[in-house]
Amino acid sequence: MDYGPAPEDPAPAQAWLDRFKRRFGHFIGGRWSAPAQGRYFETCDPSTGEKLADVAQGSAADVHAAVKAARAALRPWQVLAPHNRARFLYALARQVQKHSRRLAVLETIDNGKPIRESRDIDIPLVARHFYYHAGWPQLLEREFPGCQACGVVGQIIPWNFPLLMLAWKIAPALAAGNTVVLKPAEFTPLTALAFADLCNEVGLPNGVVNIVTGDGSTGAALVVHRGVDKIAFTGSTEIGRAIRRATADSRKKLSLELGGKSPCVVFEDADLDSAVEGLVDGIWLNQGQVCCAGSRLLMQESIAVRLTKKLQARMAELRLGPPLDKTTDIGAIVARVQLERIERLVAQGVADGATCWQPDVPVPSRGLYYRPTLLTDVHPTSIVAQHEIFGPVLAAMTFRTPAEAVALANNSTYGLAASVWSESVNVALQVAARIKAGVVWVNSTNMFDAACGFGGYRESGFGREGGREGLREYLEPIWFRKAPPLRRDASRSRDPAPAERPLIDRTVKLYIGGKQVRPDSGYSLECRSTKGVLLGETPLGNRKDIRNAVQAARQAEHWSSTTAHNRAQVLYYIAENLSQRGTEIAARLAGAVGRKQASQEVRLGVERLFSYAAWADKYEGVVHSPPFRNVAVAMNEPLGTVGVLCPEQTPLLGLLSMVLPLVAAGNTVVAVPSAAYPVILGDLSQVFETSDLPGGVINLVSGRPAELL
């Protein structure tokens, strides 16, 4: 069946642009202001190349003005009655609905996505986020006791879902009592500016929401500004790494939602017609410009030929065309630089041996378009299987067994999302739990809701958007701002070391893979008290020792599949053995921290071991009920292997407090003990060895922290 053109009327959106004379400044303190440096840049319709408006290029001075306005508005916003904050969020949701068609058209002409996606997916979900978070201000004190808002939040959003990403970030930030400085992507700033207009319409207090437009330099100025208390970023992994480095020496809270290379795993018993529709939705939604796009197809060998033919037949029916046409399936790529990147990566994949198939569908004569593409014969190490293409390109591979499917799915540096297709509940749930991804859909894909947390790990970032988990990202413990900086107090009096040395020399070794081993360097470090008294010697670990420790920890990741009850029993056993040797360990520790603190560290260490053991089988997930016929199971799963650098002040208690909660949750650990007194390593190694702790779950490598980090 052929459909005639059904264009959406762009007149209301064009009229809104004309109202601002197609020239936009920054939105700071509730007012529109010209850029400090007087510079503007163009934003264009990617489907036609036509200029839409001139937008202010933000500088450090503009960012400073926005942060200053947000800081001034912070206290009044926080003391506002929770019910009144809720009313503002509710009003924003209503305004989004009232102006939904205008916002959908603006989103489409600025981004290039089909109007059906903007109208039917993005805008309703924007409103849903503000409605959902309008319910939180009056519940915060009861549901998050001992927590407070972070303060001034800097938010940087991408160009693929401009208004939806804005809602994901601004709604929970305002609900928690923060004020916001937001920088939209330079390719797609218009709906963020339209949202600023809505903020004025609902009477949102000046300075609560501030929007500064610009390129990457504007975002960089926001990240390093000292007046910002938290940074929330959605974008590429490369920029995420740079942001993490830039904030590493600050107290800024950080959440990152980065790239992905999500697998779609289709088993032979799957409903193939449903799987094909899921694949179409997973990779060709928004021209594949989605961080969680299902860009890797893993097919069981027995159905590979049949599924490929079905998929090709469905691709041949997809329509490329003007995004404002309601019959268009695939719109325009957002910018020429992105189109060139897609073409380059596909060419590299073909050079690596992949076979490229594209349907013979008409392509508009102007604009930035790329046909839906299927790559077969893809090797797991090919660039198209490992790199995020961010375009309408699907890389297909085959597998034979569920174990092989999991191995291929996890053969990625990313860990954002995945989907599993099978009519067997046992297979689907077992495989889903083993895939290293923050979100795994079963017999579906791209299911989002404000009540359900979304986010990844590995190179896909950390933190969550949406739900209780997402709201927690904008809160912090009340004590956090009052916490003193970590430092070693050299003036504290220490008990002198015993006058007589032991008859038999005590050799402290590294603890790797459940064994005490000598360091690769063959060197030892002297451990002295602040008065210069020699307390002992510890091994000087190096990069090879860290490598061995990480390898041992990786080989022990079966610890995560151990039942929570058994993990708790091991922690209780460690507490029992630590308590038995408490007097001996405290006496040895006294030379470094004093007799009183040494006794406290042993006593509190045993108490905390009991606490972590108690949590091991009680830190459970939840079941969300989104507003459609599905349930979302939120499972708390371990991160994997975690590196820990222990504090100096409390050699024993600091190590136990950082390492054992991770172990209780099913992680494996490589820890560098306190540089001030690493001799405690010998005692802990013996305690762990006698407590049924599997080898490799905890690995201790002493040495110079700066070298081992």
Contact 551, 514 (CB under 8 A): no
Question: Is 500 domain-assigned?
Answer: no
CATH of the domain at 364: 3.40.309.10
Helical H runs in 294-355? Answer: 304-315, 336-351
CA distance 396 to 168: 32
Three-state SS sequence of 68-115: HHHHHHHHHHHHCCHHHHHHHHHHHHHHHHHCHHHHHHHHHHHHCCCH
Compute φ and ψ for 43, nearest 5 degrees: -120, 135
Selecting among 117, 186, 257, 388, the annotated active-site residue is 257
Selecting among 147, 291, 292, 646, the annotated active-site residue is 291
Contact 107, 16 (CB under 8 A): no
Strand (E) or helix (H) holding 230 = strand 230-234
CATH of the domain at 668: 3.40.605.10
Residues 39 and 169 occupy one common structural domain = yes
Contact 372, 335 (CB under 8 A): no
Find, among 261, 616, 633, the residue nearest to 456 by Cα.
261
Residues 197 and 289 occupy one common structural domain = no
**Overall residue count recorded for the chain in this entry:** 709
Position 497 scores a pLDDT of: 45
What predicted TM-score, i.e. pTM, was given to this entire model? 0.87
Question: Is 502 domain-assigned?
Answer: no
| pLDDT of 75 strictly over 70 | yes
Strand (E) or helix (H) holding 417 = strand 417-421
Residues 26 and 157 occupy one common structural domain = yes
| pLDDT of 493 strictly over 60 | no
Residues 180 and 61 occupy one common structural domain = yes
Structural domain count, the chain: 3
436-453 residue pLDDT tens: 999 999 999 999 999 999
- 348 by Cβ neighbours in 10 Å (0-12 / 13-18 / 19+) ranks as middle
| pLDDT of 273 strictly over 80 | yes
CB neighbours (10 Å) of residue 484?
Answer: 5
Active site residue 620: no
Distance between alpha carbon 379 and the CA centroid of its chain, in Å?
Answer: 28
Question: Is 2 domain-assigned?
Answer: no
| pLDDT of 490 strictly over 60 | no
Residues 282 and 235 occupy one common structural domain = no
Position 523 scores a pLDDT of: 86
Q: Structure tokens of 95?
A: 């305004």
Residues 272 and 216 occupy one common structural domain = no
Position 499 scores a pLDDT of: 43
Active site residue 257: yes
Question: Is 566 domain-assigned?
Answer: yes
Identify the residue whose tokens are 């590493």: 248
CA angle 28, 32, 35 (to 5 degrees): 80
Residues 314 and 432 occupy one common structural domain = yes
Identify the residue whose tokens are 């079963």: 442
CA distance 67 to 231: 12
138-158 average pLDDT score: 95
Confidence of residue 378 (pLDDT cuts 50, 70, 90): very high
Residues 427 and 524 occupy one common structural domain = no
Residues 137 and 187 occupy one common structural domain = yes
Higher pLDDT: 61 or 640? It is 61
Find, among 130, 128, 129, 147, the residue nearest to 139 by Cα.
147
Question: Is 492 domain-assigned?
Answer: no
CA angle 290, 292, 298 (to 5 degrees): 120
CA distance 399 to 278: 19
DSSP 120: I
Confidence of residue 494 (pLDDT cuts 50, 70, 90): very low
Q: Give the structural domain span for 341.
A: 263-447
CA distance 18 to 172: 32
Query: What percentage of the chain exceeds 70 in pLDDT?
Result: 95
681-698 average pLDDT score: 91
Question: Is 460 domain-assigned?
Answer: no
Residues 365 and 240 occupy one common structural domain = no
Confidence of residue 485 (pLDDT cuts 50, 70, 90): low
87-115 residue pLDDT tens: 999 999 999 999 999 999 999 999 999 99
* Listed range (117-131, 201-215, 369-383, 592-606) with the worst mean pLDDT: 592-606
CB neighbours (10 Å) of residue 271?
Answer: 14
CA distance 126 to 168: 8
543-567 average pLDDT score: 92
Average pLDDT, the chain: 91
Question: Is 212 domain-assigned?
Answer: yes
Three-state SS sequence of 153-201: EEEECCCCCHHHHHHHHHHHHHHHCCEEEEECCCCCCHHHHHHHHHHHH
Contact 518, 542 (CB under 8 A): no
CA distance 57 to 582: 63
Residues 192 and 282 occupy one common structural domain = no
Position 522 scores a pLDDT of: 87
Residues 190 and 269 occupy one common structural domain = no
Question: Is 218 domain-assigned?
Answer: yes
Position 147 scores a pLDDT of: 94
